[in-house]
Amino acid sequence: MLEQGDTSRPSDAAIVAALTRIVDSPRFRDSPQIAGFLRYVVERTLAGKADQIKGYTIAVEALGRDASFDPNSQSIVRTEAARLRQELARYYADAGRDDEIRITLPLGRYVPTFTRHSPPEAAASELAESEAVDFATTDVAPIPPPAASASAAPADAPARHAFRVPTVGLVLIAVVVYALLDAFVIDGRNLQPLPGPRAERATASPWRRGEPRIAIAPVATVGPHAGEVIEPAVLQDELINALSRFEDIVVVATDPNKPETAPGTDPNELSYVLVPALSRAGEGQTILSLRLISMPDRAVVWHDNYAVEDSGTAHPRMPDRLLLDITSALLQPFGVIPAAERRKLGDRPSSPYHCVLDAAELARYFDPQLRERTRACLETAIRDDPGFAYGHVLLARLHVRDYMFGYAGPDVLMPAVALARRAVELSPTSARAHYTLMNVQVARGFVQDGLEHGEKALALNPYDVRVLMQVGGQLVTTGDLKRGSDLLMQARSSTVSNPLPLTWALFLVAYLTDDLAAAALSVDRMPGDYDVNVLARALLAARRGNMALARATLAPLQERRSVWLADPRALFSRFMPARDIVERLGSDLDAILADGTGPAASEKAALR
């Protein structure tokens, strides 16, 4: 922590430059949640507000949790702090080896320290310390024992208000981790599909496409009454049901009731195991602890705790909001699993799943070279595997996005609709296939048909933030601000990344309802240097009364003769069916460019 009057400390400018290098590095770019964590604590410290850096403020202001966040029952901040320490250590052992300024997060604290360059050997020892300590310190909730031994837990065990683990229990925790894995996961006899349609759905996708494979272990219960709010078997089934709805992962269910059956899946082919456990916290609150274990090294790559409320019904189930939070943490485009998979890219042969990761990267950070590489990758994958439904989805999305952003003309909509329809035929239960067909049909003018596919997507997978933001955003463009905004806010509260469809749609809602504070926040979060982002900044500046800033903001678009200034109404109409919204945005842009005495008006005339 910086001290006043310390002449040996790095300057604020040097620290900001060091921070920028870190968050722009590949590892942190693929993990926006920990990048946001680091940026928040550094900026707060430099602003002289280190005393405001608490678990609650980090969760709400940096990680996107809502105001109801409880740092005592939810460990997301401690989990992300552990990940951040590890990633910083890895960064300084590799890409940041020669950085002059080191930013670290001391164990047990969230206020960063800033030091000048230390010898390279220090980075290696720092990495070893981080990996050896962070998952065995008070930051980590204990892995529960197998269900068979849960009844042995003493009834008067102390409440875990903050989910902290005494040091004397670390060895026991390590034993329990491996006991649980050996009992439920590593033993191949338990890796049998559950009977019924969910298991068929969960095991239908072939692994030749390279998708990660995940098994959900049976739910352990710790202590008395832990399984009263929701039955462990029901909880496991809910997790399987939610995760198996996603196109870019293969779920392998376990069946502990048939250990004598020959294994249907080689445990060595698993990518991850999700280990759930139920326990009782203080005041009778039920806590669901989740750990994601990577295979085959059995490393804990993520863990978090979730409060499970008693529904008071005869047949309780997991709340949809809780399932949305869990699936978002794991599977959103830059969530735990995609980020982990990106780090493995250099360690295995290329596969169609690489196209999936590139497509997510392209959607967030526009890059013409990456666009062509992704297009070629998807076309090759579909040619080699005509049944690759998700490949059809992503290639259709690439076409329709080119059309919406003005990179291509209407001719690309014909291959886009053919690809999207084929994806629906190949995988009728794919929510992403349906919302992609929604976007294409709306762009083609078939608004009602498109919205029907959007409703189908919501019904198929209400746990996917991409479904929520795409359908919500499309509803906003039709003028249904209320329902669209509700879906967008669900997505916003469950993701810490800032996908462009989400940030732009939230900006549009705020702008149309004159909520300038919310509009400014959305503009600040917009990723990439897209022309539509520049338009949003200019529109906001004008609405705030700063017309000079609005014109200056549009200057780069004028210099490169952006098609968005030539006829913005025509381009907005490509994805906005509501004519009144298109006209309002067009009129506001006209006002910005209507000075008549400066270069803006003549430039607009030249563009026409």
Residue with tokens 């090759």: 380
Q: How far apart are the first and last CA of the chain?
A: 56
Whether pLDDT at 90 is above 50: yes
If DSSP codes are grouped into helix, strand and coil, which group holds residue 386?
A: coil
* Between residues 543 and 608, the one the model is more confident about: 543
Chain mean position to CA 606: 42
| Per-residue pLDDT, 190 | 38
Counting every residue, how long is the chain?
608
Q: In angstroms, what CA-CA distances link 544 with 195, 310, 550?
A: 60, 46, 9
CB atoms within 10 A of CB 266: 9
| Per-residue pLDDT, 315 | 63
| Per-residue pLDDT, 267 | 56
| Per-residue pLDDT, 494 | 86
- What structural domains and CATH numbers belong to the chain? 12-136 (no CATH), 147-321 (3.40.50), 349-356+367-461 (1.25.40.10)
Span 188-203, average pLDDT: 38
* CB 340, CB 293: distance < 8 Å: no
Q: Report which DSSP code applies to 250.
A: E
* CB 50, CB 57: distance < 8 Å: no
| Per-residue pLDDT, 569 | 95
Say how far apart CA 239 and CA 571 lie, in whole Å. 41
Q: HSE on the CB side for 481, CA within 13 Å?
A: 12
Whether pLDDT at 181 is above 90: no
Query: Residue 33 — very low, low, confident or very high, per pLDDT cuts 50/70/90?
Result: confident
pLDDT in tens, 316-336: 778 888 999 999 999 988 789
| Per-residue pLDDT, 349 | 63
> Percent of the chain scored above 70 by pLDDT?
75
Q: What is the phi/psi pair of residue 304, to 5°?
A: -160, 160
pLDDT in tens, 416-430: 999 999 999 999 999
Whether pLDDT at 456 is above 90: yes
Looking only at the bridges linking them, the beta strands covering 286-294 and 272-280 are: antiparallel
pLDDT in tens, 338-376: 988 888 876 566 788 888 888 888 777 667 788 888 999
Vertex 323: Cα angle to 220 and 326 (nearest 5): 75
Where do the DSSP E strands lie in 165-271? Answer: 213-216, 220-222, 250-253
* CB 506, CB 475: distance < 8 Å: no
